[in-house]
Amino acid sequence: MTTTAARTTTYAWIVLSAITIVSWWLAPGHTRGAAAVASVPITIAVVVLGFIKGRMIIQYFMEVCTAPRWLKLFTDAWLAILWAGVLAIYLF
Amino acid sequence: MSSTISAQTSPSAKVAENGRTPRAGKRDVWLVFWIVPAFYTAFGLIFFALARVMPPPRPDVTTDQMVHFFHAHALTIKIGFGILVLIVGGAGIANGIVAFHMKRMTVGSVMAYAYLGAMSVGALPGCLLVAFCFLTAVYRPGRDPQLLALLYDLGLLSYVGSLGCFSTAYFAFAVAILYDKNEIFPKWLAYVSIWQIVTEIMAVPVFVSKAGPFAWNGSIAFWMGVVVFGFWLSCVIVFLMKATELQPVDEPPLE
Amino acid sequence: MQILAEAEDLPKTANIKTQLISLWTAPVFGVVLLIAFLAFPGFFPPMSPDMTAEQVARFYSDHTAMIRFSMITFNLCGVMLLPFFMVIVIQMKRMATQSHIFAYCYLTAAVSGATLFALADIFYLTAAFRPDRSPELVMLLNDMAWMIFIAPVGAFVAMNLLLGLAVFFDDGPNPVFPRWVGYYAIGTALAMAPAAGAAVFATGPLAWNGVVSFWLRNGAFALFVVVMFVVLRNVLHRQAVEEGVAR
Amino acid sequence: MANAKQTAADFDSAAASSVTGTGRQGTVHTPGDGHMWVMVLGDLIIFGAYFIIFMVYRAMEPQEFLTSQEHLNINIGVLNTLVLLASSWFIARSVQAARAGDHARALRLTYLGGLCGVAFILIKAYEWSTKIAAGYTISSNDYFMFYYMLTGVHLFHVSLGLLILGVMVRELRNPRRRRMFMVESGATYWHMVDLLWIVIFALLYVMR
């Protein structure tokens, strides 16, 4: 049963897991010894990756990519406002 | 709504068919219904404008500031909670009409009783105790500041921190709606009740935290809870109205 | 219990299902409450009424975290047992040879009992909220908490007497509960009743930390929940079979 | 009254269209029923507000939050994210299998998804117990209060999700039911649990 839909889901899962592993070395948790310092580039990367991951879950797992327009708009708006808000508060 | 399935056991339904029992009618239900929004409006006015419980005074203040709070608001506390202890029966009416419509569901009575019971439990620690504490505090303003501070803590912790009774009621409400086939309330109202449980859990730290978002006046523990409760309550009132509208006039009285 | 396929969507099936859900909240939250009980630092042994104000205040400042954990858990989950008692109400209403009067009295008594417990819980938590307040006041809150928690057993006594009476009045050919449940309920009422003595006595088995007032009272209550869970499971199964809902 | 019926019908139209079954490539289709979407979208808004409030408090004392954050074990965080992503993948595939009529496979995949959910709870419990043993409790500071409350409420959602997966299992096992909209609703909820965790993971564990 390897329909296109199934393949897309699996690719989405692989990409999501890969991003998660990438975030592993972004995190401050394993910089023992040296105190973690705030880092704007890393935070921006985290926000962008978080946005991408969230959008992939919504589009491919929740199947919003084939859903009516209002649902697409709502979920995208939620993602955009959340992550833009997070970044804005972080920067100011 | 002829599709409404009689939620009752057969004997009383048969009696009703034979016309020996007079029909319940709906005037009584409407009368009770209109008390609900009226009561909650008064409730909101009392807690926001008069008693100064909303927004709650800060937990991280000195005993002197607590004393000052009681002195500054003694008059409005007396008026507000004086009215509250008179009209608090409205809460019983609000719970009663919800339980009434829950009993019209096709799910038996157990969840209706659990809702009724849990909400009744909430009436004392979750609503009235703060009134008693504040009224007692302003009754003799010259009391030892330490005692006033105790009443302040006890009142506000009981008001913001009575979590389990309401969670139980929301749980019963949600389960009943999800199993109901009469569609007395829409299914999503059950999910909205689950948000209510979430906000109750989020209020757990009020017993630990004295400042910040999780204190008893905090943005998460208090304000998010108030907003979600306001939304839930508005939905419940609207759908109580719908349920009353859709209730067949000839529906036999409940057992 | 196996619900019959053809009965899946009937109201009488939903009636059984909602009762089953209410029934099963008892073991789920029972375990949670047991953990909360074991976690409270003042139950093993129960705090003595003899403690001085300073000792009480020190107890609250030394064990603040565990007191809060235990009492917050009781706060969130204590009333979750109420649906379980409502199943008893529903079953009492099924008794054929009597009016529903015992059932409704049982309902209101159960609500009173739960209210008192919720109230006592708030007093413990208020005492632990600022353990640094004057020791006299911490002791006042502690006394209120223990007094409200242990002494007012009237609601439970009334509930169990009502249940016992209902079982004895249910003397038709097809009683809901087996007859021994009536004796057991009365026995539970008798076991809990002496705890009212905690309102007066400060020492001995009747004080709130005494063998009778604390261990017999709470033990009888816990055992009652366990026993009634098993009884109600069987009763519900029989109801489901009789109504053609389950096999 | 007719009006009410009409909106109710609109609301369930998604449900009705999804009963018909397979092959919706390129067609517009709302997965699950509207009621579940009310839950999911509302929950997203509520959690969105929690996340924004978290950021506001983080901005007030960034250094304290950052040093507290260092005490979390990133390995466990990543592991938990992977477990939850895998469970979401199982559930997504389960929906596709159910749509294709392969209910046995859908059932197996749902069990696997649920198993991952249980694993998530166990890992989380282990993480909490190590943190508490190390002396970081809810009253340590604002960061840990957020940590315990956000992950705690998320855990509540995971347990609720396990119950909902149980409903999905019952639906798939019973040949007389197998209503697609029920399966899709359950899946939608479960993916929301995943989505919320992704945000919690980014905010509590990774960002600097």
> What is the per-residue DSSP string for B17-73?
HTT-SPP--SHHHHHHHHHHHHHHHHHHHIIIIIS--SSPPPSS--HHHHHHHHHHT
Please indicate whether, in this complex, the C-beta atoms of D49 and B204 are within 8 angstroms of each other: no
Say if C6 is an interface residue toward chain D (CB within 8 Å).
no
pLDDT surpassing 80 at residue D45: yes
Question: Alpha-carbon distance B163 to B204, whole Å?
Answer: 8
**Domain hosting residue D54, numbered range:** 32-206
Q: Mark yes or no for CB contact D69/A4 under 8 Å.
A: no
Q: Residue D27 region, left (φ>0) first, then alpha (ψ -120 to 50), else beta?
A: beta
Kindly determine whether residue D105 and residue A27, on different chains, have CB atoms separated by under 8 Å. no
pLDDT level of residue C129 (50, 70, 90 thresholds): very high
The string of pLDDT tens digits covering residues B9-56 is: 444 444 444 444 555 568 888 999 999 999 999 999 998 888 887 888
**Min CA distance, A12 vs chain D (Å)?**
9
Residue of C nearest to B120 (CA): C111
C-beta separation of D159 from D121 below 8 A = yes
Residue C48 is given by DSSP the state P
Q: How many angstroms away from the CA of C208 is the closest CA of chain B? A: 23
- C39 in B contact zone (CB under 8 Å): no
Option in B188, B208, B224 nearest D39 (CB): B188
Percent of chain B at pLDDT > 90 equals 68
- pLDDT tens digits, residue range C36-51? 999 999 998 999 999 9
Does residue D82 form part of some domain?
yes
Among residues of chain D, what percentage have pLDDT more than 90? 58
Q: Residue B194 in contact with residue D39, Cβ under 8 Å?
A: yes
pTM: 0.90
List the one residue out of D17, B105, C96 whose CA is nearest residue A68.
D17
- The pLDDT of D14-30, averaged and rounded, is 52
Give C-chain residues touching B65 at CB under 8 angstroms: none
Contacts of B214 in chain D (CB under 8 A): 145, 149
pLDDT exceeds 90 at position D17: no
> Any alpha helices (H) in chain A, and if so which ranges?
4-26, 40-56, 69-91
The backbone torsions φ and ψ at residue C43, rounded to the nearest 5 degrees and listed phi first, read -105, -15
Neighbours of C108 (CB within 10 A): 17
Structure tokens at A64: 């919003």
- Which chain B residues contact residue D188 at CB under 8 A? none
Structure tokens at D124: 């989380």
Nearest to D208 among A17, A38, A57 (CB): A38
Asked whether the beta carbons of residue D96 and residue A3 sit closer than 8 angstroms, the reply is yes
- Does B202 sit within 8 Å of D149, measured CB to CB? yes
d(CA D137, CA D71): 12
Helical residues (DSSP H) of chain C, grouped into ranges: 11-39, 53-62, 64-77, 82-93, 101-129, 135-150, 154-169, 179-192, 217-242
Please tell me which residue of chain D has the smallest CA distance to B177: D35
Facing D78 at nearest CB: one of A13, A21, A38: A21
Here the tokens at position C200 are: 């007066």
D44 to chain B: nearest residue by CA? Answer: B195
For D137, which of C5, C8, C65 is closest by C-beta distance?
C65
pLDDT of residue A28: 60
**Spans of all domains in chain C:** 5-242
Taking CB atoms and an 8 Å cutoff, what residues of chain C touch D176? 5, 8
Query: What pLDDT score does D75 carry?
Result: 87
pLDDT at A38: 77
The whole-angstrom distance between D57's CA and the closest CA on chain B is: 8
Burial of D94 (0-12, 13-18, 19+ CB in 10 A): buried
Q: Does B238 touch chain D (CB under 8 A)?
A: no
- Give the pLDDT mean for B165-191: 93
The band of A36, judged by pLDDT with boundaries at 50, 70 and 90, is low
Greater pLDDT, A85 or C246: A85
Domain membership flag for residue D5: no
D138 with B205: Cβ contact below 8 A: yes
ipTM of the complex: 0.90
Residues of C with Cβ-Cβ distance to D178 under 8 angstroms: none
Sign of CA dihedral B92, B94, B95, B97: positive
- Asked if pLDDT for residue A68 goes beyond 80, the answer is yes
Among left, alpha and beta (phi > 0; psi -120 to 50; other), residue D141 is beta
- Which candidate in D1, D36, D37, D46 is best for mutational testing of the B interface (most B CBs within 10 A)? D46
Tell me the pLDDT band of D163, cut-offs 50, 70 and 90.
very high
Residue B89 pLDDT exceeds 80: yes
Average pLDDT of the segment spanning C236-242: 92
**Average pLDDT of chain A, as a whole number:** 85
Interface check for B172 against chain C (CB to CB < 8 A): the answer is yes
Instruction: Tell me the chain D residues in contact with residue C65 when contact means C-beta distances shorter than 8 Å.
Output: 137, 139
Establish if C76 touches chain D: CB-CB under 8 angstroms: no
Question: Tell me, what's the pLDDT at C97?
Answer: 81
Print burial letters for D119-129: b (CB count within 10 Å at least 16), e (below 16): bbeebbeebbe
CB contact under 8 A, D30 and A67: yes
Q: State how many domains chain D has.
A: 1
Which residues in chain C touch residue B204, judged by CB atoms under 8 angstroms apart? Answer: 72, 76
What is the C-alpha separation between A69 and A76, in angstroms, rounded? Answer: 11
User: Closest-CA residue in chain B for C19?
Assistant: B110
Q: Output the pLDDT for position C2.
A: 79
Cα gap C148→D125, rounded to integer Å: 34
Residue D176 touches partner C, C-beta closer than 8 Å: yes
Does B150 have pLDDT greater than 90? yes
At residue B23, the pLDDT reads 52
- In this structure, of A30-44, C32-46, C196-210, D152-166, the range with the lowest mean pLDDT score is A30-44
pLDDT interval class at A4 (50, 70, 90): confident
Q: What is the pLDDT of residues B134-143, one digit of tens each?
A: 999 999 988 9
Chain centroid, CA B241 distance in Å: 17
Is the pLDDT assigned to residue B182 strictly greater than 90?
Answer: no
Give yes or no for residue D79 having a pLDDT over 50. Answer: yes
B200 touches chain C (CB under 8 A): yes
Q: Do chains A and B touch (3 or more CB pairs under 8 A)?
A: no
Query: Is the Cβ–Cβ distance between C175 and C150 less than 8 Å?
Result: no
Q: Do chains D and B touch (3 or more CB pairs under 8 A)?
A: yes
Q: Which residues contact B23 (CB under 8 A, 6 or more apart)?
A: B16, B249, B250, B251, B252, B253
pLDDT band with cut points at 50, 70 and 90 for residue C90: very high
Nearest to D17, CA basis, from D34, D41, D38, D37: D34
Contact D91, D110 (CB under 8 A): yes
* A59 within 8 A of D204, measured Cβ to Cβ: no
| Closest residue of chain D to B183, computed from CA coordinates | D8
Prior bond of D175 cis (ω within 30°): no
**Residue numbers in D near A78 (CB within 8 A):** 41, 44-45, 48
Q: Under DSSP, is residue C43 helix (H, G, I), strand (E, B) or coil?
A: strand
Asked if B200's CB is within 8 angstroms of C14's CB, the reply is no
Tally C–D CB contacts below 8 A.
6
For position D7, what pLDDT does the model report?
43
- With touching defined as 3 or more inter-chain CB pairs under 8 Å, the answer for chains B and C is yes
Distance from CA of A47 to the nearest CA of D (A): 8
D135 to chain C, any CB pair closer than 8 A? The answer is no
Write the pLDDT tens digit of every residue in C65-74. Answer: 999 999 999 9
Distance CA D44, CA C133 (A): 41
Q: Best residue in B175, B189, B220 to probe D by mutation, most D CBs within 10 Å?
A: B220
Closest CB to D38 among B191, B197, B220 = B191
Chain B: give the shortest CA distance to residue C219, in Å. 23
Query: Which chain C positions have a beta carbon within 8 Å of B62's beta carbon?
Result: none
Looking at residue A35, the DSSP 8-state letter turns out to be: P
Domain membership of residue D189 (yes or no) is yes
Select, from the ranges B90-94, B251-255, D17-21, the one with the highest average predicted confidence (pLDDT): B90-94
pLDDT at B250 over 90: no
pLDDT (0 to 100) of residue B2: 38
Question: Residue D10 has what DSSP assignment?
Answer: H
Residue D119 is part of a domain; what is its CATH number? 1.20.120.80
Q: What angle do CA D109, D199, B194 make, to 5 degrees?
A: 70
pLDDT at residue number B13: 44
User: How big is the A-D interface in CB pairs under 8 Å?
Assistant: 166
Residue D112 in any domain: the answer is yes
Does residue B151 surpass a pLDDT of 50? yes
Which chain D residue shows the shortest CA-CA distance from B191? D39
Q: What's the first-to-final CA gap in chain C, in angstroms?
A: 7
* CA proximity to B111, closest of C13, C20, C234: C20
Whether C2 contacts chain D with CB within 8 A: no
